[in-house]
Amino acid sequence: MKKITLTMGMILSVMIFKASAQEENKTDFRSTLQLGLKVGANYSNVYDTKGQAFSADPKFGLATGVFLSVPLGKYIGVQPEILFSQKGFKATGMILGGAYSLTRTTSYIDVPILLALKPSEFLTLHIGPQFAYLIKQRDVFSNGITSVAQEKEFQNDNIRKNTMAFIVGADINLDHLVIGGRVGWDMLNNNGNGTSTTPRYKNTWFQVTLGYRFYSD
């Protein structure tokens, strides 16, 4: 009876171990190619400002796009993305001797190319460069009497279309769902040659997204 009990116990232990290993492998997709969609928001502002009494406050914008997770092993990989990303700021300042308030919304196509570090199946760390192209800019002015000269001053601003940023962040992986958080900041000023008299700045932003990833089970 003792031998039978011992044998049954060993068989049960092996079955439990195999079931646990299969369940772990089922949820561990670090070595699997993944394609995903994400949507969320940016909370952006500017830094390194150079203007006349220029004071900026943050604003919210849309962030959405696709990502591809390419494994280079179980614990490391590369994740390129293509995002539509709104940044900008709210500001007050002085220009041509008059006070103004400005809300600037800049819409970019962002292309981060990130190194992915995967210490566990539930956590992925990201770091790397991001290249961006400005596709649209919208300025909303408000002051006592908006002059043509003030509007022209902003319209003639030499805006940089292409820019580069640095990104760090982390993803929490819950099966097909991915909760992501990022921090990014531009490495280049927004203006092209430094001669603009309107506020010159670099973007900085926090980004939170919810994603859904596809992979082969």
Judge if 114 and 189 occupy the same domain: yes
Judge if 126 and 156 occupy the same domain: yes
According to the model, what pLDDT value does residue 23 have? 45
Judge if 76 and 178 occupy the same domain: yes
Judge if 167 and 110 occupy the same domain: yes
The structure tokens listed for 172 are 């929490």
Judge if 15 and 85 occupy the same domain: no
Judge if 12 and 115 occupy the same domain: no
- Residue 10 CA, chain-centre distance (Å), reads 50
Judge if 96 and 189 occupy the same domain: yes
Specify which residues 209 forms β-bridges with: 40, 180
Judge if 130 and 153 occupy the same domain: yes
Best CA proximity match to 171, nearest among 119, 130, 131? 119
Judge if 137 and 186 occupy the same domain: yes
Q: Which domain holds residue 15?
A: 1-29
Q: What is the spatial distance between Cα 80 and Cα 72, in angstroms, rounded to a whole number?
A: 13
Q: Is the whole model's pTM more than 0.75, yes or no?
A: yes
Q: What is the CA radius of gyration of the chain?
A: 25
Q: What is the spatial distance between Cα 158 and Cα 108, in angstroms, rounded to a whole number?
A: 16
Decide: 65 and 51 in contact? Cβ < 8 Å: no
* Domain total in the chain: 2
Q: Longest C-alpha distance within the chain, in Å?
A: 99
| CATH code where residue 129 lies | 2.40.160.20
The angle formed by the CA atoms of residues 5, 8 and 13, to the nearest 5 degrees, is 125
- List the pLDDT tens digit at each of the 217 positions of the chain: 545 455 555 545 555 555 444 444 456 888 899 999 999 999 999 877 665 566 788 999 999 999 999 999 999 999 999 999 999 888 877 766 677 788 888 899 999 999 999 999 899 999 999 999 999 888 887 776 655 555 556 666 667 788 899 999 999 999 899 999 999 999 877 776 655 666 677 889 999 999 999 986 5
Judge if 110 and 43 occupy the same domain: yes
What count of residues does the chain have? Answer: 217
Q: What is the spatial distance between Cα 140 and Cα 118, in angstroms, rounded to a whole number?
A: 43
Judge if 39 and 123 occupy the same domain: yes
Judge if 191 and 145 occupy the same domain: yes
